[in-house]
Structure 1
Amino acid sequence: MVISIVIILVAYAAIQSGSVINLSPSLLWNRAKYKKFAELQEKLQWDNFLMYRVTQNSNGSIRYFPEKNFFLIASSPYFIKIDRTGNKVFELENSPELKFLDAINCYVTTEDGIYDFSAEKPHIEHFAEILNTDSTISDKVWVEDFFGKFYNTSDAVLYSYHTELISREAVYFRQNGKWIKLYTPKSSSFIYAEGSKIQCKINREQILPKWQYEHFLKDVQNATYSNELRYTDAYITPFNSDNTFFPDQKLDYTNKGKVKTQAFAKETYTTEGYLNPGIPNEFYGTAYYDLAIENTVLNFKTVANRASFGGDIETYLHVFELPAKYAAKSNVRFLTYDYSTNFHENKKQGVYIIKNIGN
Structure 2
Amino acid sequence: MKKNIYALILIAILLLLFLDRCTAYNITTNDLFRSKDLKNSKSLIEKPQSKNYEIVLVEGTFPILYDTINNEFYVSNNKGLTKYDYFGNIVISDDLAKEKYTSVFDFANFIPYVFAENGVYDFSGKKLVYTKFLQILNSQNEIKDADFKLLFEKYYNDAEIVVYDTARNFDYQADNLPMYFKIKNNWILLFSQKGDNRFTHSLSSEFETETIGQIDFLNFPAKFADKRLIVLKDQKKRIYSTKQIGEEIDDNYLKMYSTQLLKEQKFDYQSSNSIKLISRKKDEYYHTGGYFNFPDWFFPSFINTAYYQVVYNNESLFFKEKAIMYSKNLECESDLYLYELPKHFRTKSKVAFMHYAVNIGGYANDSTGIYEPIIKNAGLYILRQKLDRADLQSVSKKID
Q: TM-score range by the shorter chain?
A: 0.7 to 0.9
Match 2:73 to one of 71, 74, 78: 71
Do the aligned residues in 1 keep the contact of 2:44 with 2:55 (CA within 8 Å)?
no
Partner of residue 394, structure 2: none
Partner of residue 24, structure 2: 20
Count of equivalent residues: 350
Residues 107 and 2 (structure 1), Cα distance of their counterparts in 2 relative to 1, 3 Å cut: farther
Match 2:382 to one of 330, 346, 353: 353
Q: Which has the higher contact order (CA 8 A, sep 6+)?
A: 1
Structure 1 letter corresponding to 2:386: I
Structure number with the higher strand fraction is 1
Which deviates the most, 177-186 or 134-143?
134-143
Which deviates the most, 330-339 or 346-355?
346-355
Partner of residue 44, structure 2: 40
Structure 2 letter corresponding to 1:130: I
1:28 & 1:310 partners in 2: Cα distance? 24
Residues 199 and 271 (structure 1), Cα distance of their counterparts in 2 relative to 1, 3 Å cut: closer
Partner of residue 218, structure 1: 233
2:180 & 2:279 partners in 1: Cα distance? 52
* Partner SS for 2:346: helix
1:199 & 1:31 partners in 2: Cα distance? 52
Asked if residue 307 in structure 1 is aligned to residue 326 in structure 2, the reply is yes
Structure 1 letter corresponding to 2:103: D
Once the two structures are superposed, residues 145-191 of structure 1 have per-residue CA deviations (whole angstroms, 9 ceiling, x without a partner) of 21111111111111112343222211100011110000112243344
Do the aligned residues in 2 keep the contact of 1:160 with 1:198 (CA within 8 Å)?
no
2:278 & 2:256 partners in 1: Cα distance? 34
* Partner SS for 1:99: coil
Structure 1 letter corresponding to 2:164: Y
TM-score, scaled to structure 1:
0.87
Residues 25 and 50 (structure 1), Cα distance of their counterparts in 2 relative to 1, 3 Å cut: closer
Task: Quote how far apart the aligned CAs of 1:199 are.
Answer: 4.2
Do the aligned residues in 2 keep the contact of 1:199 with 1:207 (CA within 8 Å)?
no
Partner of residue 219, structure 2: 206
Residues 11 and 273 (structure 1), Cα distance of their counterparts in 2 relative to 1, 3 Å cut: same
Match 1:156 to one of 148, 156, 161: 161
Do the aligned residues in 2 keep the contact of 1:67 with 1:213 (CA within 8 Å)?
no
* Partner SS for 1:141: helix
Written as runs of structure 1 = structure 2, the 5 A alignment for 1:84-103 is 84-95=86-97, 97-103=98-104
Which deviates the most, 168-177 or 69-78?
69-78
2:253 & 2:32 partners in 1: Cα distance? 38
2:62 & 2:301 partners in 1: Cα distance? 26
Do the aligned residues in 1 keep the contact of 2:356 with 2:380 (CA within 8 Å)?
yes
Do the aligned residues in 2 keep the contact of 1:34 with 1:288 (CA within 8 Å)?
yes
Residues 34 and 192 (structure 1), Cα distance of their counterparts in 2 relative to 1, 3 Å cut: closer
Task: Quote how far apart the aligned CAs of 1:271 are.
Answer: 4.7
Match 1:247 to one of 231, 251, 263: 263
Asked if residue 129 in structure 1 is aligned to residue 138 in structure 2, the reply is no
Determine what percentage of the aligned residue pairs are the same residue: 26
TM-score, scaled to structure 2:
0.79
2:252 & 2:330 partners in 1: Cα distance? 20
Q: Which runs of 5+ in 2 are unaligned?
A: 204-211, 363-372, 392-400
Residues 179 and 259 (structure 1), Cα distance of their counterparts in 2 relative to 1, 3 Å cut: same
Once the two structures are superposed, residues 181-210 of structure 1 have per-residue CA deviations (whole angstroms, 9 ceiling, x without a partner) of 001122433445246777444xxx432111
Structure 1 letter corresponding to 2:156: Y
Match 1:333 to one of 352, 355, 370: 352
